[in-house]
Each structure stands twice: as C-alpha cells, then as structure tokens.
A = this chain, B = another copy of it.
Amino acid sequence: MINLINELWYLKRDIVSDDFDRALARLAEEVPMSILEYPSGKRCWTWIIPEKWTCHAAYLETLDGQHLIDYADHPLHVVSYSLPFEGIVDRDELLQHLHVHPRLPQAIPFVFKYYDRDWGLCASQELRDSLKNDRYRVTIHTSFEPGKLKIGEIVIPGQSEEAVMLVNHLCHPAMVNDDLTGVVVGLEVARTLLERSSRGKKPYYTYRFLILPETIGSVVYLSQHEDLIHKMVAGLFLEMLGNDSPHALQGSFQPDSQIDRCLMSALQGLDPHGYTAPYRTVIANDERQFNAPGVRVPMLSLSRVEPAGSPTRPYREYHSSLDTPAVVTQERLETSRQLVLDLIDAWENNQYIVNRFKGEVFCSGYGIWIDYRINPDGHRRLFEIMERCDGAHTVADIATELSISFQSVWEVVALLKSKELVWLSRTPHPTDPHL
C-alpha cells in the first residue's frame, strides 16, 4: 500500500480535475473497477456538479518581482477552486485572502472553496507574519471548464443483492493520511474479497467500494443509483488509517441497527486499543450523505483519531502540507486492512440464531460442558448466550445485550452450530411457543 501512496500522494487531486482522474485511472489498474462519469452542471438532488478546475500557475510577489509563494512549490499554496486573480493588492486585502493553518505555524493549510467562491492563497503562519510591505502582486491563473466528475466503483457480487457500501474519498491534493490511506486500505480489502470470490468463497452480501470526491461524489452516486438505495443495508467509511492513533469506530445515525451492533461489538473483540463513539462525534465525511434523510443507510466510519479532548484532534498534521508519507507506516495500514476484513467477517456471520434444541442443552452429552466449579465465568457465559438463542436474537443482539464482544458470542454459536443445535437465519424465526 505504501508504494501506491508514494506514487499518487502528490497529485493535485482536486474534486473535478485531471489529476483526480489520473489517480483514479492508476487505482483501476490494481483491481477490476468501473469508472463512472458525470458531467459538470448536472443537477443531482439539491446539488450541481461543479466545473473542472485547473491551476496553471500562481504566485505571490513583492513589487520588485521576488516570488514569496509559488504553486509550483506546493499544490496547497492555492485554495482549491480559487477564482483567477491578477493584480497589485495592499497588505490588508492580501491577508484576507491568505490562509494559514490554525495550529501549525510552519505548515501550508488545505483550504477549499468549491461553492462559496473567492480567490485565495495559502502559506505558513511564519511566512504570513514576515509580510511587512504595503503592497504585493498576486497572480492566480486558474480555469473553470466543463469536465466530468469521476467515481471508481468496485463491485463484489454476493449471494444476495443486499449491498454493503465501502466508501472513501480521493480528493485531498498532496496529502496522505487524509485521504489516500482510506483509499488504499479499501482497495486491498476489495482485492482480498475478490480473491476469495475467485476461490469460490462468494460473500453473502454484495460489496460496493466507492472511490470518489468527498460529499459531491456521494450525492452524485446516490442520486444516480436511487433504485439501489433500498438494497443498501449497511456501510462503512474509511479514512486516516496510517497515522499513530488508536482505531475509532464512529456509529451511524441509527445506533440500534444491526450493522452498528455488529461492528461495535466486533471491534471490542478485535482491537483492545480501539474505541467507539456515536455518530458525528469523531469525524465527518461521506457517511453523512448515506445516513441522511431519503437515504438512511446506516454507515459507520473507521479512522485512526486521537482521543476526544486532544488539542490536535483528529491528528497533528490534519489538513496541512505536513500530511506526507512520513505520517504513515505500511504496518499500520496492514493492521487496519486486517481489521476491516475482520469486521466484514463478523458482519457476514451476523445472523439470527435459531434453536433446534428446547430447554437447556445436555451439555455433557454434546461435550460442551464447562464446569462451574472450575470456570464459573465461562459456565455462566455459555448459558447466558445459549438461553438467548431463540430465533429472535442475532449474534450482535446478544453481544450488545451482554456487553461482550461479537467474537465471544460467535465462538459459542459456532460450537452450537457444529453440534447442529442451532441454525442461522438472515431473518427472524422466533421459537417462543407463547408467541
């Protein structure tokens, strides 16, 4: 993954841009991917697809021609979707258009004005503080022209048409942790699922991986696939998976949904350092469009984010020129990739557990007895799980109710299933004779 990051990170991947298209085309060489294209100006629900934006050149000069800031030095020096501008401005006006990072005095910030447009440059706080002249010359050669918003889609067909959406965005120019790490982790997860499928291990759910420009990309995809929405049963957004922070799993708008119960309880068993948090309390991304009214797909979000209250949250180099390959390691990317796969495995396993038995199981007779005199906790746990196997509880329901990990429930359920004491169902089959 780190190689792909090194190859693509410095591209000027603005939301509709040649470099975005280049990056997407390169990713499409890795796995079978459809590139969906939608023209600028197209209305999508309440939105309009913006023009393609190109910055040909941009710099800030002293009146005697000394270049202080140059787009050629770093793509973040120009506000993404800046209007063109050329002229001499006095210092006060310049400072209103010269953006800096709120925390990092030496970094160039990432600033975008896709819809509420203006001209703008970005520089370090240190450079800004050194501007003492009365007037400066600004040159921003940008062009807006009809283009095509592009979305990469990888589909892994499942036994069911019910779809799980795995989403990441690619539109953060010359940065790495946010957002390229989510893209490469998603890609490797897709590759693994494709390999499993090619070995005949077709998943139950159909998985749709989307690589798109943030927000507008999701709106475009959803509005152009309205007939698919009712089949989307769950989703996961991926981002910031290379930095040195614990995994944060942010719940969806529907905290009682099966996917929320499943992934939340699964994380508990998979990553002792990970933590969970409610919707909108970790980081906001494309999951907003999927959770929104008229769509209502419960989509969680996985990222590596500093704990709540940290002054550098989400992470120190966020939205700045310091978000380089130095922030991430291959090892952390691989850990995150494995975590996503394990979460998917939990989700595939999350079914209603229907008892073939009645009463308590004759555990000794089936060789699954845990002696309460030797292991009282294990004994109690076994029975607490078994007594909820009634066709009305999923694995995730039981884990949530008992506040234990998905895996510890699944371990018992898998054992019961191997003894043919239960069967698993995608829909409820309540067995209470009083119903």
Binding site for B on A (CB under 8 A): 45-48, 114-116, 215, 218-219, 222-223, 226, 229-230, 233, 253, 280, 288-289, 291-297, 355, 357-362, 364-366, 369, 380, 383-384, 386-390, 421, 431-434
Contact = CB atoms under 8 A, between A and B. Distances in A.
A47 B365 contact: yes
Q: How many copies, total?
A: 3
A222 B293 contact: no
B116 A45 contact: no
A295 B293 CA distance: 37
A185 B303 CA distance: 57
A365 B293 contact: no
Contacts of A389: 293
Contacts of A46: 357, 359, 361-362, 365-366, 421
B219 A294 contact: no
Given A46-B366, A253-B387, A421-B46, A296 B359 contact: no
A107 B243 CA distance: 62
A432 B427 CA distance: 20
Given A215-B360, A223-B359, A359-B219, A294 B229 contact: no
A358 B433 contact: no
A280 B384 contact: yes
B433 A296 contact: yes
B421 A387 contact: no
Contacts of A358: 45, 222-223, 226, 292-295
A297 B365 CA distance: 24
